[in-house]
Structure 1
Amino acid sequence: MNSDEKQVSESAGRRANKRAITALAVFVAIILVLYVWQPDSFHLWIKALHVVAVISWMAALFYLPRLFIYHSDAEPGSAQSETFKMMEQRLLKVIMNPAMMISWVLGLYLAWDVYGFQGGWLHAKIALVVLLTGVHVLFSRAVRTFSADGPRKSPRYWRIMNEAPTLLMIAIVILVIVKPF
């Protein structure tokens, strides 16, 4: 088996999934240890971990459409296309999905614990995060479409879609920092 075949093998994908599950389990264990070890500053730890998860989620949301741009130009079934498929699937399963889940869980915990779900800015932020999750779902579907060598959108489409997470992120950060209403 050459290195190209090894990169796209099913066993490599299973190992990546196991690593993602292990990472989530370790993350939950860290949360529990922090709750016991640092109860007075637990919400600060949650905020810090929430920011780390959001940064990871956003990095994946920025990178995945770039992969789609290049993948759109690759011939279906080619070695290049198969490599993009594996890269997209691993980015989605190992980074993007866990980071989104952690962002949501910790974010909702903070909305409840720190803010009591109060504030117009918080409701607007949650609405924008729902839209960001919609972008995530759209990208997830595209990963499946590319994986099945289904109909492809143009590189121009993916260049435009690459801006959606950026615009939503800017609005979300402004709401969180400025709290305009």
Structure 2
Amino acid sequence: MANRTDPAAKSVHGTNPQNLVEKILREKIHQSSFWKEQCFALTAETLVDKAMELDHIGGTYGGNRKATPFMCLTLKMLQIQPEKEIVVEFIKNQDYKYVRVLGAFYLRLVGKATDVYQYLEPLYNDYRKIRQRSADGSFFLSHVDEFIDQLLTTDYCCDITLPRVPKR
């Protein structure tokens, strides 16, 4: 039951929300120790606490391509489908940059194009540094505005194919 979508969850882009993450990545997340130990029985309220503990973003890394905690929390959000107001509060959070980035990434995955542009474009003014984990396991510095630009202009981010949004 822990790996299933909430029965009350609505379909997103015509499919189960978890299917926005490719099957192989979903399986890697389900096998990760962070998922098994930290993400079990998380609710929308307790998810915020876990998101505040994030210290980097990324998809998978290393030789066996382990999933990052950022990806685990993204999948958990897709599973429990928090209310839009909660996601907007994630994005408006000034104190924790990784909570903001997690909310932005989730909104980019499930949001309508108007919501995506309305809530993510103001984040172009956030120039704080964030740590990003590359595929080889090393870290590099990026900025919130660069990550937002990647979300809005590319089709692929953090090992996930992003749903199409029309150009501005």
TM-score > 0.5 by shorter chain: no
Which has the larger helix fraction? 1
With normalisation by structure 2, the TM-score equals 0.29
Between Structure 1 and Structure 2, whose CA radius of gyration is higher? Answer: 1
Select the structure that is richer in strand: 2
Give the structure, 1 or 2, with the largest relative contact order (CA under 8 Å, sep 6 or more). 1
